[in-house]
């Protein structure tokens, strides 16, 4: 029997604690409806290769109407995710099984939503075959598949860097060095080599910039991104060929800004793409236009288009909620072709209604902005931008919010307890959005200080400083490590900002 249970995947260090909102079944509805695709009711959901499981933990706690299943072959990560779910009082069936084992379990239901974040790039063809077969057998008609993956042509120039890193680690890396040490050694080796001006670096000046960018990234992330045995960026058509056997068709980008042509393409490029009648060719042209490196897409088993009035009626029923403070409201948006200002006469009426931080149906928004000469098409485009920027999020049904609140509070307490020592988890769960909200470590500590009876920003700052000082930790500001009471002064300023800007939003979002 083979002892290579990791199938060539990095296990020396655990994956980062990332949260990915696209894995939320609640969130998939609006992007699908906005491009005229039917969005199903989701009762059973599955995440394959969930890493540390922060996303599945948050979604299991915050979306009580959905039954969650999932697997990650790393037992340490599966154990952490299961513990988070247990502490939240939620119910999710999470395993540490390989794909071949999990996907052939006899006790799995049919699913309305299956999520694959990133993992597709780092597995073997045999495992891809297992996943495609699973999707074919277990995704219900009308069900949604979320898949993200490293994309060509965007990786073409820098793929050789990855190859050199992995080759150096395979040939020169010492077993006792560990994957982080091997990663650092490989980066140093490539930097020395590039200093010799190889023709590759001259022909691909972007690769040199890419190396500088890579060297500044988190080493755990780099180990998982670059150092696995299997690593296969793909063209859109490659993914389409694989998923064709599962009877799913492309529906929409999960990143709503991608769907707005005017932000990402020149007028001539837009005209060129619209003359391409084939979806696969059109998506390929899109990727070439923006040099796409990473795609985040929704696919549907039996893509069903909504006719005009049916689409508008479905969109009007959806609810959204504002998730940033007034001062953080965006005034511009950046796309592949540059930056565009957000027109005040369209966006200010939207903000007027949403600034009460309550969920509102899009019909309510349409009625409100209609009196300010904003039509439905303008509203829909604006909401796509605001959703893409993270300024708004879909809101959960009212009955789910009350059911979820106890569980999200328990999960947030478990997350914040970890922040007493480290800051590797940077999200809390919101019962209102059914998903994650950004929560950096110091914000979590201020929240804990308030939970423990602190009434003022000074109380919250002193609570945080007591913890940091006891552990010999100091704040790094503008590249400088603060000394002594300067830490408390900085924490007081941050706590005051948190209390004024963040706390009211968190309160409205049930945090």
C-alpha separations of 212 from 188, 191, 290 in Å: 11, 9, 21
Rg (CA), the chain: 24
CATH class in words for 21-152+231-300: alpha beta
Compute the distance between CA of residue 44 and CA of residue 110 in angstroms, rounded to an integer. 7
Dist. CA 410–CA 472, nearest whole Å: 28
Q: pLDDT band at 423, cuts 50/70/90? A: confident
508: Cβ contacts below 8 Å, ≥ 6 apart:
321, 357, 358, 432
234 pLDDT tier (thresholds 50, 70, 90): very high
Distance CA 318, CA 28 (A): 11
Percent of the residues in the chain that have a pLDDT greater than 70, as a whole number: 95
Q: Which helix (H) or strand (E) holds 383?
A: helix 376-389
Q: Among 67-71, 104-108, 124-128, whose mean pLDDT is lowest?
A: 124-128
Looking only at the bridges linking them, the beta strands covering 476-477 and 480-481 are antiparallel
Across 151-248, the runs of DSSP E, i.e. the strands, are: none
Per the CB < 8 A criterion, the answer to whether 411 and 58 are in contact is yes
Question: What is the per-residue pLDDT across 267-292, written as a single tens digit (0 to 9) for each?
Answer: 999 999 888 888 899 999 999 999 99
- What are the tokens at 378? 């303008």
Q: In the beta sheet, which residues pair with residue 93? A: 69
In the block, residue with structure tokens 């060539």? 8
Residue pair 369/379 in contact (Cβ under 8 Å)? The answer is yes
Q: Which residues contact 76 (CB under 8 A, 6 or more apart)?
A: 14
| Each residue's pLDDT tens digit, 140-154 | 999 999 999 999 998
Break the chain into its structural domains and give their ranges. 21-152+231-300, 159-226, 440-508
Please report which confidence band the pLDDT of residue 450 belongs to, taking 50, 70 and 90 as the band edges.
very high
Residues 77, 96: Cα–Cα separation, whole Å: 8
Angle at 73 between CA 69 and CA 77, to 5 degrees: 80
Kind and range of the H or E run holding 321: strand 319-322
Asked whether 107 and 120 are in contact (CB, 8 A), the reply is no
Question: Is residue 9 pLDDT above 50, yes or no?
Answer: no
Q: Which residues contact 465 (CB under 8 A, 6 or more apart)?
A: 487, 488, 491
d(CA 493, CA 419): 19
**Cβ 506 vs Cβ 322: under 8 Å:** no
């Amino acid at each position: 029997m083979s002892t290579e249970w990791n199938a060539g995947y990095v296990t020396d260090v655990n994956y980062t604690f990332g949260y990915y909102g696209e894995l939320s079944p609640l969130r998939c509805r609006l992007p699908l409806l906005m491009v005229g695709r039917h969005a199903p009711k989701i009762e059973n959901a599955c995440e394959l290769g969930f890493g540390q499981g922060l996303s599945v933990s948050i979604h299991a706690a915050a979306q009580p109407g959905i039954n969650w299943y999932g697997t990650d072959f790393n037992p340490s990560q599966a154990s952490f995710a299961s513990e988070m779910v247990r502490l939240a009082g939620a119910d999710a069936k999470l395993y540490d099984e390989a794909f071949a084992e999990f996907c052939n379990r006899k006790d799995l239901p049919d699913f309305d939503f299956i999520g694959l974040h990133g993992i597709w790039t780092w597995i073997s063809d045999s495992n891809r075959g297992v996943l495609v077969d699973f999707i074919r057998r277990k995704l219900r008609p009308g069900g949604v598949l979320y898949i993200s993956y490293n994309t060509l042509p965007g990786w073409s120039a820098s793929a050789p860097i990855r190859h050199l890193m992995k080759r150096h680690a395979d040939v020169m890396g010492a077993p006792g060095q560990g994957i982080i040490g091997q990663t650092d050694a490989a980066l140093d080796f490539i930097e020395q080599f590039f200093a010799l001006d190889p023709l590759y670096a001259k022909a691909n000046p972007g690769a040199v910039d890419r190396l500088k960018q890579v060297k500044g990234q988190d080493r755990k992330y780099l180990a998982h991104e670059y150092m696995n045995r299997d690593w296969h960026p793909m063209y859109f058509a490659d993914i389409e060929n694989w998923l064709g056997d599962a009877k799913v068709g492309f529906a929409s980008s999960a990143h709503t800004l991608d769907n707005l042509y005017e932000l990402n393409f020149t007028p001539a490029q837009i005209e060129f793409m619209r003359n391409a009648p084939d979806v696969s060719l059109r998506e390929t042209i899109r990727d070439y236009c923006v040099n796409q490196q990473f795609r985040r897409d929704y696919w549907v088993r039996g893509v069903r288009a909504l006719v005009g009035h049916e689409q508008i009626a479905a969109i009007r029923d959806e609810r959204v909620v504002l998730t940033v403070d007034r001062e953080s409201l965006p005034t511009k948006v950046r796309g592949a072709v540059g930056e565009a200002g957000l027109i005040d006469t369209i966006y200010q009426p939207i903000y007027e209604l949403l600034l009460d931080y309550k969920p509102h149906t899009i019909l309510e928004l349409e009625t409100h902005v209609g009196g300010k000469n904003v039509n439905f098409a303008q509203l829909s485009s604006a909401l796509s931008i605001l959703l893409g920027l993270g300024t708004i999020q879909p809101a959960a049904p009212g009955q789910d919010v009350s059911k979820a609140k106890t569980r999200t509070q328990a999960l947030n307490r478990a997350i914040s307890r970890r922040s007493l020592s480290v800051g590797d988890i940077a999200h809390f769960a919101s019962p209102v959005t059914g998903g994650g909200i950004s929560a950096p470590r110091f914000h979590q500590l201020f929240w804990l200080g308030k939970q423990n009876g602190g009434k003022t920003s000074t109380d919250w700052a002193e609570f945080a400083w007591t913890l940091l000082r006891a552990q010999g930790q100091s704040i790094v500001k503008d590249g400088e490590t603060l000394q002594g009471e300067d830490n408390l002064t900085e924490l007081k300023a941050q706590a005051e900002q948190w209390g004024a800007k963040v706390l009211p939003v968190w309160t409205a979002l049930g945090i």
